[in-house]
Chain A
Amino acid sequence: MPNVIGETKKAFITGNEAVAWATLAAGADIMFGYPITPQNEVMHYWTRLAPKHGRGFLQTEDEISAGFTVCGAVQAGKKAFTATAGPGNVLMQEPFGMAEAMRLPLVAIIQQRGGPSSGTVIYSQQEVTLTTFGGNGEGHRIVYSTATHQEMYDYTIKAFNSAWKYRFPTFVLGDGYQAKMREPLEMYNPEEKGLEIVKPFPLVGLDGHIGDNREPQHLCNIYSMEEELYEVVLDFVKDYNAIIPEVAEYQAQQCEDAEIIILTHGVVSRAADDAVKILRSQGIKAGSFRPITLRPFPTNDLRNVIANSKAKTMLIAESAYGQLDRLVKQEIYGETIKIENLFMPGVGIIDYDIISKVKSII
């Protein structure tokens, strides 16, 4: 891999730019995109970087086409990606579903904006359900929810590796705040950190002869009989469940002696961490849990954290009206910890919001 970053140094950067640089560092060959706020600078930046590094870009006629062109490019063995938000994410569910059906290593960056529909151009966490379980399938996707620019960079690189290693469509779920916010970021060449970059490979046009020296590639998104589909989907389930221990990630802080666990994801977890510090300084023992992968969900880890914690209450806080809450509840069905909610759809949550809520419920 060529050194695209140059000397490792800290840059002052927006989240969208961090994504564009990370895709370059991960060896992405081409981006297919259609403009939508707040992901536009991923495209703007990629189109500034790509020509200097021999990479490609195509602006398609709409998001449906952007998603399908990624599906096509990855079959040709190219590391391809797209980035979108809101209604664009809705339109891309059809190609994302194809990527699930054909086990295509598609990578998509989602910068959540307000919804429903065009909502706002600004921010939300309202694309959780859509990104994890959108489409007419079983949600066989990998979804990383990032909280900082460093994570946007790190997990964008990781997303390509996961997609090409496991062959499930992989998503980096950010939001408009992370997209536009500016903070210092250390950009690095993955090799310098000892990170292996998974090499892409073609899925069609392979050498050899079917039946003689190789098996046929079954890249299907439609079957003539329901029994065929049934077997395929059950195989997906088996493969997906097998990677959960390797792929699922979370962060838990100070949950053991906590009276209350604050569960958040993405940028809101930064407010939760600040809230934990302040609450503890005021004598209220709070802890925090944050799923980094929303799919697969770190179910066993959360169950263990609950089992090993003194907490009787868990507060789920999100910039949506219950999308994370529903996800968590289905994953930890049967747990008896009391669940409280702070739902602020489409607006930011700061430490103060969480602290006030915690004080009102304990």
Chain B
Amino acid sequence: MTANVIFYPIIVPLVTALALLVTPKKMKWGKEIVAIAGTALNLLLAIALFKSNIYFSAPWSGFGIDFSLKLYQFSSFIILAAAGFAFLITLYSTASLFNKDYAKPFYVYLALSLLMVNGAVLADNLVLMLFFWEGLLVTLFGMITIGNKHAFKTATKAFIIVGISDLFMMVGIALVAYLGGTITISQINLTTAGLGGLAFIFLIIGAISKAGSMPFHSWIPDAAIDAPLPFMAILPASLEKLLGIYFLARISLDMFELNVHSWASTTLMVVGAITILLAVMMALVQKDYKRLLSYHAISQVGYMILGIGTLVPVGIVGGLFHMINHAMYKSCLFLTGGSVEKQAGTTDLAKLGGIAKSMPVTFICFIIAAASISGVPPFNGFFSKELVYDGALERGMIFYVAAILGSFLTAASFLKLGHAAFLGKKQGNAEVKEAPMRMLIPMITIASLCVLFGLWNALPLNNLIQPILGKRLEGHNFSGLPTNALLVIATVVVLALALLNHIYGVKKTGKALKATDHIRYAPLLGHLYDMAEKRFFDPYNIGLDIVNFFAKIAAWFDRAIDWVYNILVVNAANLVTGLIKRLHTGNYGSYIIWSLASAAVILIFLIRAI
């Protein structure tokens, strides 16, 4: 195989995008055929390239900025995963976006996004990577704008939030170049001491904001409502996660030498744990199918960051395994959301219900994916979460507790979602039919992969994940059943608790949609006490206040980030501005004085030395 093959993952999507642009509008199936053919070709290519090692480098724009690409175990894996998702979601979109006038730009953006992801993953030079990285931001912007009428505002919000964090990453790259003397990724080897720590933090900010972690997440739930649905399945749920976590792993495993007890590791774990908990708490109280999913998309990133942040082999393997698992079940979930939206006409949980009978395949796929995300054995999510728990426990009880608590809340919210959307009483009169075949195939494929990766976890772990870490593992093997029986028991107990909790909630309120309300409004132990007791000394209300307080903090945190971006900066600057504005009276006499006085200062400065 010649080295030129390495360009094909960049060229194929580019050609696809260009071909899409010139496809005439009148051809009925033209754009669909081109899009499917292009992504399929890309998938075949990714399979062919899988596990090959190619390196290519050519001088590009000087100053050490080379056009160097590196294909190896890790990057070929990400490319394969991205290609698979792109193909399946294109197939899905041919049905869900058929007749929509934004279908064509969507395919173009999808192809371009694929190009950018492939490029960023292959790049072995930080500036080259930044180039593709930013390209993905543009396609992100474009994809959101083609949604509904609020989409432009959301797109701008996403663009600005991600853009700002990318600015940080840029500074980080400058710091790396300054400290390490090179921006070739495979040659960088830094520590987190002093300025290196700053560089590390800046790079991490870029990586986790691409992955959608807190506090860079607030555009995702908005986009879930405003953007076209396949967008959520392709970018925030799969491609961006793959890319963000890939880069996070590169930073913390390859570029920086971190040891287990460094502050950097702890920081990552704290960010991960906070993201898990806050986002899942927000998810719990959502009343919209897509919005609920989007908060989970944020929450699950926490597990990956937590897993990689542990820096112990089992945690890293778990984090990476969770990355691929999450991309699968979350895109599957979004796809079921898309089917429901298309067939039932809404994603508002209050208006949904009882559609399981009429959409059995969608429902089964939903159950598999939901069980996966909740960590129910024997699906894939269970195994990756166990690995993450194992790693977290090794680093500290508190992280494990946060992770398992997140798991409990995840399970609770999915029980609520499934119950409210698919079971229960039917709402409205409209006859709901099963989604068309082209939408079902991707869901079924991904759902069966979820099962496969769970039952036969040796396949992904031995072939995909563990070789990435190579010598770090030193004889460990994490495939097969989890070794720590206690953890498994704990997980099962937590899941059972979640189920009990759900049943209790439904009983108490009578509605599946309100099944989690008691978590929001009640302390965990409060409902064990007698009703009468509450009237005198009301632990219920106190507990309600406390939980409300935390729920409010979660919500406030969410809004506060918006506030900082939109208001604080402007107001603070306005104070200074007032002064400057008052100085500009319009009197040219004073302008002359400014000029002459400054000229005098400059002259004196220049000749002072003599």
**Do A and B associate with each other?**
no
